[in-house]
Amino acid sequence: MKRSIAGVIAALGCAAGAGLMTAAPSQADDIGYLINVTLRPGYNFANAQAALDYGNGLCDRISQKTSYADLASSIRSDFNTTDEFQISYLLSQATQELCPAQIWQLRQSAAGYRVPA
């Protein structure tokens, strides 16, 4: 009897832990975004508020259904870069950390995207 109760408790504990580990974040994480984009070279934001403003601006544009190509073009111009990784990294960090509800919209707008020649 003791062994079966202990087994049930262990199974419930594992199930609860698995649920916590797979739960998607549902709210903005300003700190996570700031760490990820200010420690990575290449963006050179003037300060944390400028970085947050830029990221939130991207979120606003994503929610307005701006195409991935237009978002990428803006980042390319704003940061004077042709580095597609740098462009997609900033877009994905803003979306994942500041507006996770917009992830699906960003993915939809990126369908068929081709790097400019």
Does the pLDDT at position 87 exceed 70?
yes
Using pLDDT thresholds of 50, 70 and 90, give the confidence band for residue 18. Answer: very low
Q: Where are the domains of the chain?
A: 26-110
Residue 4 backbone phi and psi in degrees, to 5: -70, -35
Question: Percent of the chain beyond pLDDT 90?
Answer: 67
Percent of residues in the chain assigned helix, strand, coil, to nearest 5: 70, 0, 30
Closest CA to 98 of 47, 46, 74, 63: 63
Task: Please give the structure tokens belonging to residue 3.
Answer: 């062994």
Note the Cα 89 to chain centre separation in Å: 8
Please report the pLDDT score of residue 28 as a whole number: 75
